[in-house]
Structure 1
Amino acid sequence: FLKDNKFNVEKKFQLFDNYDEIENAVKQIDLEKKNLDFLIDGAVIKLNDIGERKLFGYTAKFPKWAIAFKYEAQEMSSRLNKVVWQVGRTGKITPIAEINPVELAGATVKRATLNNYNDILRKKVKLNDYVFVRRSNEVIPEILGVARETPESTPIEKICKCPSCGSELVEIGANLFCVNTYHCPEQIVGRLTHYASRDAMNLVGIRDQTAKQFYEVLGITNVADLYSITAKDLAKLDGFKDKKITNLLNAIQ
C-alpha cells in the first residue's frame, strides 16, 4: 500500500514460511546493518495475514502479532576522566561519567550514565579507569564496568549535598534525591523544560537554555508563571528579537 502510494519505504522486506528462514534473515540483517543509511537496533517480525492479526489482537500497548528482535548493542572502552552529578526535575541525582570521546553506533559519545552510586560500587568503577561503554538500544550511553585499571585509579566519592542548591541529599532506595523541590535551580529549570517539551505542552522555543534564562533573569519558578510572560520580559533575554518573541508568545497563548 505504501509503495503503491509513492511512499519511500525500506526495500528490505521479506516473507517467510518457517522459523528457520526467519532466524537466518535476522542474522543476515545483523551482518548488513552497518551498511545501511540509517541506524537500527533490531528487526521486526510480523504476521502478514490481516485475519490472523485480528485473532492475535493487542495488549494495552502493543500488537501481539509483531515482535522486535534486538541486536546486541555495540561496546567500546574509554577512559573515565570525571564524574558530574546531574540533578533531574524530580530531584533525582544521577552520576554522569565524562569519558574520552568514542564512536558508538554512528555517534560520538563523551558522556555516559553511571545510574546511581550503588551501581558505581557494584561495577567497581573508579576515576581514571578504562571502562566499557555501551549505547543501550542505540540511544542512552551507559558504563558497563571496568575494562582495566590504571595507576591513577581513584575511588568515586559519594556526594552528600545537592550540586545545584547545596541542600542535604536524601537516599531513597538506590538513588540520591534533593528534596529542596521548590528552590533548587536545576529542578526548576528541568520542570520548565519538561513542561515545554514536545511530549508535554510542546511550547516551541523553550528549551534548556531558554528555561534557564527564564529562571535566572525573569525569576520564573513554576510553569504557571509562563503564562504571565510579556514581550517586555522576553526582550531582556539573550537571543530574543521581535520575531522570536512573537513566536514564543503565540506558542504560549
Structure 2
Amino acid sequence: MLVQLLSSHLFLFQIRSVYGADYEFSQMRDLYGFQLDPRTLILEEDSSKQEHNGDPLLRCALSCQNDCQTFEFKDGVCRLYKGFTVIKSADPNQVVQVRIKHRLDPQSPPILPMGPQILVFRQNASDQIFWPPGVIALNKNQTSALRYSILDEIHDLRGTDGSFHFKLCYPELNTNLCYRWSQSEHPLAVQGQDVPKNFVYKEGPFSKYRGFFGLSQSTPHQCLLNGDLSGSSRWWFALGTYHSFGGQDMFPGPAERIVTLVELYVEL
C-alpha cells in the first residue's frame, strides 16, 4: 500500500490499496457550532492506549474502509463514522473538520456524496402527535426528537453559489427515497407556493414534473411548508403537517403517497 501525504493543511491522502483502487481523503471545511452525529459512529479508539508504531492520524485515515464514510482525529482519539450527518452542538465554538472519502478513478462512480449534510427538520407522527401550527423552530437541542426543526437558523448554510442545497427524504419507504435540489430563497420566504428563485432539480425517484418544484410556504393551511406547486389546494411533500391525512399517524408525502416520517437536510 502506497500512501502519500500531499498537504497537512488540506489533509489530503492518496491511497493505492492492494486491490488497485485509488482513494482520496480530504478536509472539505470546518463547521463551527456543529458536531458529527454520534448515531453514525462505528468505532472510537484512543491512540494513546494502542501499541502501534507510526503516525496515529495516518493510521486513523487508513482505517476508514468499507462502511466508513468519514473520520475524525481529535485529542488523540480516532472516530470512524458511517455517515456525514452533522448536528447542532451545544457549544458554539465546537469545530468539526469533515473529511470525506472518494474514489479517485474518474471512470468509477463516487462511493459517497460530495459533502456532509445537516439535519434541519424532522416530522415523525408515529405517536399520532402532529406539528404545532405556525411553529418554525422546535426541540432545537434534541436532534433525535420526533419533531425537530432549526429552520430559523439555516440562513448561513447557503453554498458558495448563494443557494440552499436541500435533500428531502422519506426513510420509511421501501427505497431510500430522497429528492435533491437547490433554491436561493429560504422556503419560509417564498409566498403562495410560488416556485423558489433559482430552483435547480438535481435528482429524485420521480421526475420533477410530478408536482415537485422546491419548498415554499403552504397555501393550503394544513402544514408549514410543502413542495407540491401544481395547484393551490394541493399539499403533497408536506413538512410540519398540523393534522393527520389518510391515517391516524399519516400525512402527505411524495407524489401522492402518505407517510409517517419526513426529514429535510441541507447539504454543504
Tell me the TM-score normalised to structure 1 length.
0.28
Does 1 or 2 have the higher relative contact order (CA < 8 Å, sep 6+)?
2
Higher share of residues assigned strand: 2
Q: Which has the larger radius of gyration?
A: 1
Instruction: Report which of the two has the higher share of helix.
Output: 1
Give TM-score, length-normalised by structure 2: 0.27
